[in-house]
Structure 1
Amino acid sequence: MADTDPEANRFSARASRYARVGANVGGVAARMAGARLFGKEGTTNAAALAQALGGLKGPIMKVAQLLATVPDLLPPEYAAELQKLQADAPPMGAAFVKRRMMAELGPDWQARFSRFDLKPSAAASLGQVHRAVSLAGEPLACKLQYPDMQSAVEADLQQLDIAFALHRRMNSWLDTREIAKEIGARVREELDYEREARHAALYGAVLADVEAVRVPAVHADLSTKRLLALGWLDGDRILSVTESPVEIRNRVAQAMFKAWWHPFGRAAVIHGDPHLGNYTVFSEGGEARGINLLDYGCVRIFHPRFVGGVVDLYRGLLENDEARIVHAYEVWGFKNLSREIVDILNIWARFIYGPLLEDRVRTVADGVKPGAYGRKQAFEVHQALKQRGPVTVPQEFVFMDRAAVGLGAVFLHLRSELNYHRLFEAEIERFSLDALAERQAELLATAGLPLPI
């Protein structure tokens, strides 16, 4: 049966996208290549690239954000500029919104709300958010996708494949094919708001017993593949508490820890996009009590064995058990591991796991700025792999690694002082692969999500 979706992956839309991306980025890319060839790479080209990408809505900006948070994939000056892109896309106007809403809910769409604000409250790379009120009087956050995003995704991901191929030629120590595959899979998933609604339902179930983390309710009757209606959660930006007393900052950081590790340990799922705009702080009695988890587009569901690898690596590092460490890497998908490669991977592992290994109250990393979190260790790994590589980063590892770095940066912003070791031990207490698999299957079935392969 022919696809009747007017916004399916259309050749004309892809061709238009190629032209726009090429016009904006091609000149900058040429300058970057020339500068790199002559050893003159620097912040000027980085700022130019960020400016070129910032004018393009859609996945190319999302991909740029993702690349910026994969440690050592880009030079630091490029990563710093691209991270500024997070949610600065200019919004679409009221006429556009009316047309989009009519396409999703029909000509009488306005009669399905008691109020709908045509001016967006937030604009991001793939869509924009509007405040609304349901007929029952419930405040809503309605995320509306920009048009032709499926075509834009395919066009932009093809450009990404070309960029990664160039990266492999210039940096033969790192095979990026699995990284490209993972980024492509996650960005394609972010287009499907019906899937995102199921992700939100999954998180609502797995965090139901965690009072410090709030998950919005899904309003399925007002949602489609390109329109997602969630309950509105009032809150303040994470950065609003950075000057609060340490006990407040610690409370918010502990809620962040719980929001990330509890779903991982109970359902083998992570929130793969831990930038500051995806969380707000809710208060009770005039005091910050916890966090609202707002966005569920970039969610990664793992096979339970991957969680087993995380626990094995933690135990192996804690007990200096080399066999267990190697087993963990193999479970994750690393292949052809020599002793030298294992030692190099351990540089990164000891950094990521560092706060979890020490049974004491500490910061996540002393004297490190949020934007520089992980850069020093990534550089050490980079230099070592140049001598001993190449290594292929497994697909499942990509977003786990990225999210862990992003989470650490949030803790640095909060300047939290916690016993991360005891918090983690509480999450993996009585860990069992069989119990995790059973619980995950139950939760995914309830949310209407398939089991991971």
Structure 2
Amino acid sequence: MSDTHDPERNRLSARLGRTVKVGTNLSGAGLTFAANSLFGGDKGDERIAKALAAALGKSKGPLMKVAQMVSTIPDFLPPEYAEQLSHLQAQAPAMGWPFVRRRMRAELGADWQSRFTEFGKEAAHAASLGQVHRATLPDGRAVACKLQYPDMASAVESDVGQLKTLLGLFKRLDGSIDPTEMIGEITDRLREELDYQREAKHMALYGQLLAHEPYVTVPEPIADLSTDRLLTMSWVEGEGLSAYEDAPQEVRNTIARNLFWTWWKPFTGYAVIHGDPHLGNYQVTQGGESLNLLDFGCIRIFPANFVAGVVDLYRAVRDDDFDATYAAYEKWGFENLTPELVEVLNVWARFIYGPMHDDRVRSVADGVKPGEYGRKEAFEVRRLLKERGPVKIPREFVFMDRAAIGLGAAYLRLGAKLNFHRLFEDSLEGFDEMALAARQAEALNRAGLVLQA
């Protein structure tokens, strides 16, 4: 069969052409950005945001994933930008059987099909970096085979370069936040997402940390059927959170409580977070009694003193102790702070910690829609930083903030009402930084992982 009729080769050619297309798309968006910032008046930001979203919508792949990441960090972009980017969906047409067959042969050898009794030719799920196929092992276990698209490493580097250019322009024109460290953090995590061997270790780590918890199930990686570009894991099934938005209040509260512990237990106990709060990464099982946690490409492992800083800030804001908040931000990694900048950062801290300081059953944010969670407060922070900043956000802040906001939005989607103060206090019971560091070192060693830079 000629090259012109090879579906995989045609798709691959299209993907290889993405660098030029992305550059053209973003150049147009960048020009619109600059022109509207200078001449656009009150509606300039809105027009820039629409141009940026339109450009990214044409690019697909890693850059769209990055755009989704930054759209869920409220203080990273103006609200107009976040609103437009939040509509982007990291879905891509699945590549066909010729690609699947060649990828599996390349990763497992010419006899790869003998390793399975069944292998679905159609993808069960396709996203920006790869696609998933359901298969069955000879012992009867159902598994998910996650295949990485070709040329993703070069695509990531190209897309990250475009993002740096665009956000560099944003930094010069806006001036409220220096995103240098944030871009570096996002870049590092995105590169890690291409390493499926690392993701398998992340999955194994979470399997250890949550092994005895009845409220969550973590898929099990299948080591001898996994490589750098193929990740095979046990197949899990459940329903999306949206299926429970009209469930009885107690069911919704149970789901939200399970989400809290699934996220906070690894963080306060081992200084590890699941950094991708996308609702598709949670499945509800057993009628709302338990969850499946999915996708371990974006896991953030912190030094123990960062978690201590989070706890210190919680207590400092609770006690209205300005000097203690100053010290907590420094422990987080904020540099060149001034009392004026700390006052601005405290606007955000009081919002994030507010539900945890309020000892009553409540929603996480009364009268706020899920997609607007944190937007008003972030806008106020950016306004004040334009007067008193800029502030350079430390890289450790990025996925901590992103995951917390994603979790809050999930609570709002569920209409959950909980005593967040009691939950958080329970999560801190017996907290000790040195003991946390020791537990973390042991867990990382078992999983073959190390602290991230």
SS of structure 2 residue aligned to 1:41 = helix
Letter in 1 for 2:39: F
Alignment of 1:146-161 (within 5 A): 146-161=149-164
How far apart in 1 are the matches of 2:245 and 2:317? 32
**Overall identity of the aligned pairs, in %:** 56
Stretch deviating more after TM superposition (439-448 or 13-22): 13-22
Deviation at 1:215, TM superposition (A): 0.4
Letter in 1 for 2:386: K
Letter in 2 for 1:169: R
Hey, what does 1:29 align to over in structure 2?
Answer: 30
Stretch deviating more after TM superposition (27-36 or 390-399): 27-36
How far apart in 2 are the matches of 1:120 and 1:127? 10
How far apart in 1 are the matches of 2:134 and 2:83? 31
Alignment of 1:177-188 (within 5 A): 177-188=180-191
Letter in 1 for 2:316: G
Deviation at 1:265, TM superposition (A): 1.1
Hey, what does 1:439 align to over in structure 2?
Answer: 439
2:280 pairs, out of 273, 277, 281, with: 277
The 8 Å contact of residues 57 and 126 in structure 1, kept in 2 or not, is answered as no
How far apart in 2 are the matches of 1:176 and 1:89? 28
User: Could you say if the C-alpha distance between residues 141 and 48 of structure 1 is closer, same or farther in structure 2, counting changes exceeding 3 Å?
Assistant: farther
How far apart in 2 are the matches of 1:211 and 1:167? 45
How far apart in 1 are the matches of 2:82 and 2:187? 19
Q: How many residues align?
A: 439
Stretch deviating more after TM superposition (210-219 or 332-341): 332-341
1:62 pairs, out of 62, 65, 81, with: 65
Hey, what does 1:175 align to over in structure 2?
Answer: 178
SS of structure 1 residue aligned to 2:250 = helix
1:97 pairs, out of 94, 100, 122, with: 100
Deviation at 1:186, TM superposition (A): 0.5
Q: How far does the alpha carbon of each residue in 1:408-436 deviate from its partner, in whole angstroms, 9 at most, with x for none? A: 11111011000111111111101001110
Hey, what does 2:344 align to over in structure 1?
Answer: 344
Deviation at 1:25, TM superposition (A): 3.1
How far apart in 2 are the matches of 1:44 and 1:163? 15
How far apart in 2 are the matches of 1:356 and 1:52? 39
Q: TM-score, normalised by structure 1?
A: 0.93
2:271 pairs, out of 242, 248, 268, with: 268
SS of structure 2 residue aligned to 1:36 = helix
How far apart in 2 are the matches of 1:373 and 1:328? 24
Residue 414 (structure 2) pairs with residue 411 (structure 1): no
Structure 1: give runs of 5+ residues left out of the alignment: 1-11
The 8 Å contact of residues 128 and 145 in structure 1, kept in 2 or not, is answered as yes
Hey, what does 1:315 align to over in structure 2?
Answer: 315
Deviation at 1:107, TM superposition (A): 1.6
Q: How far does the alpha carbon of each residue in 1:193-221 deviate from its partner, in whole angstroms, 9 at most, with x for none? A: 00000000010111112110110111111
1:143 pairs, out of 123, 141, 146, with: 146
Hey, what does 2:429 align to over in structure 1?
Answer: 429
The 8 Å contact of residues 32 and 51 in structure 2, kept in 1 or not, is answered as no
Hey, what does 1:164 align to over in structure 2?
Answer: 167
Residue 117 (structure 2) pairs with residue 114 (structure 1): yes
Hey, what does 2:353 align to over in structure 1?
Answer: 353
The 8 Å contact of residues 13 and 151 in structure 1, kept in 2 or not, is answered as no
The 8 Å contact of residues 64 and 90 in structure 2, kept in 1 or not, is answered as no
Stretch deviating more after TM superposition (412-421 or 313-322): 313-322
Hey, what does 1:132 align to over in structure 2?
Answer: 135
The 8 Å contact of residues 13 and 152 in structure 1, kept in 2 or not, is answered as no
The 8 Å contact of residues 238 and 283 in structure 2, kept in 1 or not, is answered as yes
How far apart in 1 are the matches of 2:301 and 2:14? 31
Letter in 2 for 1:440: Q
Structure 2: give runs of 5+ residues left out of the alignment: 1-12
Residue 236 (structure 2) pairs with residue 233 (structure 1): yes
1:249 pairs, out of 238, 245, 252, with: 252
Letter in 1 for 2:234: G
Flag as ranges the 4+ runs of structure 1 deviating above 6 A. Answer: 12-15
Deviation at 1:334, TM superposition (A): 0.9
Deviation at 1:324, TM superposition (A): 2.0
User: Could you say if the C-alpha distance between residues 78 and 89 of structure 1 is closer, same or farther in structure 2, counting changes exceeding 3 Å?
Assistant: farther
The 8 Å contact of residues 26 and 166 in structure 2, kept in 1 or not, is answered as no
The 8 Å contact of residues 43 and 78 in structure 1, kept in 2 or not, is answered as yes
Letter in 1 for 2:293: L
The 8 Å contact of residues 312 and 325 in structure 1, kept in 2 or not, is answered as yes
- Considering only aligned residues, what root-mean-square deviation do their CA atoms show, in Å? 1.8
Hey, what does 1:398 align to over in structure 2?
Answer: 398
How far apart in 2 are the matches of 1:398 and 1:13? 32
How far apart in 2 are the matches of 1:84 and 1:106? 40
Deviation at 1:325, TM superposition (A): 1.4
SS of structure 1 residue aligned to 2:262 = helix
Deviation at 1:44, TM superposition (A): 6.1
The 8 Å contact of residues 278 and 406 in structure 2, kept in 1 or not, is answered as yes
The 8 Å contact of residues 55 and 89 in structure 1, kept in 2 or not, is answered as no
SS of structure 1 residue aligned to 2:117 = strand
The 8 Å contact of residues 60 and 90 in structure 2, kept in 1 or not, is answered as no
Residue 44 (structure 2) pairs with residue 41 (structure 1): yes
The 8 Å contact of residues 130 and 148 in structure 2, kept in 1 or not, is answered as yes
Hey, what does 2:85 align to over in structure 1?
Answer: 82
How far apart in 2 are the matches of 1:433 and 1:131? 42
